[in-house]
Amino acid sequence: MERVYTGVLREHFEENRQMAFLSGPRQVGKTTTVRDGMPESAYLNWDRTTDRALIVGEGSGLVERLGLDMIAGNPSSVIFDEIHKYPQWKLFLKGFFDTYGQRVRVAVTGSARLNIYKKGGDSLMGRYFLYRMHPLTVGEIGSVAFVEDMVKKPVRPEPSILKSLLQFGGFPEPFLKSNIRFYNRWRRLRSEQLFNEDIRDLTNIQEVKQLEVLAELLTHQVGQLVNLSSLAGQTGMSVDTISRWVSTLESVYFCYILRPWFRNVPKSLRKQPKIYLWDWSLVTDPGSRAENLVASHLLKAVEFWTDAGLGNFGLHFLRDSTKREVDFLVTRDGVPWFLAEVKTSASGRLSKSLRYYHALLGTAHAFQIILDADYIDEDCFSHSEPIKVPAVTLLSQLV
């Protein structure tokens, strides 16, 4: 299936001169997407020896390969894949773009965060636009066409979509196959590549086995407040080391951190964040897995909207010292926009905390998202009062 990001890339190169950076987890579909969006591009992969020699070579090999030594009517195109593994990749791209940027379209993909820069003179600021690619979601599966509206009309998904996403995750290959034996083999191989290749190539961490232990512990803390001291005690490492390792796991898209929103919230929690996984299928507890799935849908939406230039969006949670809590708060340009509380069943009452924070922060919408509720063909965002909504309906309105 063609991803929504393919249309984003096509639009990017029709309207912008900047490089397109497409970052996201390993095996989320970056390479296929960028090659679909730039079908006649030269493709250079840092992991391929011959391509690496062209990138680091001092001769004219790369220029000749891309046809930049010839007059051409139309710009050529090139994709640099996994180039972030090159220690001087930012300096290389800066020089290449400054020299040939008017004559070549450049796309850069990577399985580590491409918007993290060292201090110094090799910043690429102003030379690229970043697009953060996420796994498949209910909204993307229902409609892959790129739309500029932040929320779409609800679209009835196939009945098994949500169940399949919960079981197999949103990474394209295991989701599309929906075969448990394939999924188990894919998951094991991806884990081996993540810890034995990506982390080895990008960091100086030697205690990879202990890092794997930390990753396993985090899968059981999804949706909970992260306690670094407790994790340090369980792994036998210092708190500072655990903090660095969590940042490392973030940088290679194993997990992501949500921080509390405390502005205008009396007695708000301020320091302890929550953690979620990019592959929510790794979470064993059904309630936590459902919450992680919704978190990932919301994170994909806020990052997509931000990357598309529709505003500056953020994802947080709410909790105060009296333990009033709402799972998620989406902000728009620094202002609370809508709340989301996740429940697996519709049998319970509407959350008192959802009502409280909706009134306190003046949010435009407040949703209690019900996982087991059937699809309803109604725009969730047409309601301004706190309301229960089926997960399949609300999530179909997002990217």
- CB of 175 closer than 8 Å to CB of 164: yes
Tokens of 91: 């300096």
Tokens of 328: 């998620």
The pair phi, psi for residue 7, each rounded to 5°, is -65, -35
Provide CB contacts within 8 A for 247, sequence distance 6+: none
- CB of 232 closer than 8 Å to CB of 296: no
In 162-308 the beta strands, taken as DSSP E runs, fall at: 255-260, 274-277
Q: Which of 87, 108, 132 is the last residue of a domain?
A: 132
pLDDT of residue 119: 43
Q: Which candidate, 253, 344, 246, places its Cα nearest to that of 303?
A: 253
**CA–CA gap between residue 237 and residue 246 (Å, rounded):** 12
| Same domain for 186 and 99 | no
| Same domain for 220 and 85 | no
DSSP 348-395: SPPPHHHHHHHHHHT-SEEEEEETTPPP--S-GGG--S-EEEEHHHHH
| Same domain for 167 and 127 | no
| Same domain for 203 and 122 | no
| Same domain for 114 and 100 | yes
Other C-beta atoms lying within 10 Å of the C-beta of residue 343: 22
Quote the number of domains for the chain: 2
| Same domain for 303 and 161 | yes
- CB of 96 closer than 8 Å to CB of 65: no
| Same domain for 149 and 122 | no
Helix axes 208-219, 228-235, angle to 10 degrees: 130
Q: Which of 97, 132, 167 is the last residue of a domain?
A: 132
Q: Which of 99, 132, 165 is the last residue of a domain?
A: 132
**What is the extent of the structural domain holding 89?**
4-132
Sheet-wide strand order for 19-23: 42-45, 76-81, 104-110, 19-23, 128-132
| Same domain for 299 and 355 | yes
- CB of 183 closer than 8 Å to CB of 177: yes
| Same domain for 96 and 233 | no
| Same domain for 118 and 102 | yes
| Same domain for 163 and 26 | no
Tokens of 327: 């799972």
In order along its 399 residues, the chain shows pLDDT tens digits of 789 999 999 999 999 999 999 999 999 999 999 999 998 999 999 999 999 999 998 778 999 999 998 887 788 999 999 999 898 999 999 999 999 999 999 999 998 878 654 444 557 889 999 999 999 999 999 875 555 678 999 999 998 999 999 999 999 999 999 999 999 999 999 999 999 888 877 787 878 889 999 999 999 999 999 999 999 999 999 999 999 999 999 999 999 999 999 999 999 988 899 999 999 999 999 999 999 999 999 999 999 999 999 999 999 999 999 999 999 999 999 999 999 999 999 998 999 999 999 999 999 999 999 999 999 999 999 999 999 999 999 999 999
| Same domain for 331 and 266 | yes
CATH number of the domain to which 81 belongs: 3.40.50.300
pLDDT of residue 118: 45
**CA–CA gap between residue 325 and residue 258 (Å, rounded):** 14
**CA–CA gap between residue 399 and residue 388 (Å, rounded):** 20
Tokens of 288: 């936590």
Q: What is the pTM of this model?
A: 0.95
pLDDT of residue 148: 63
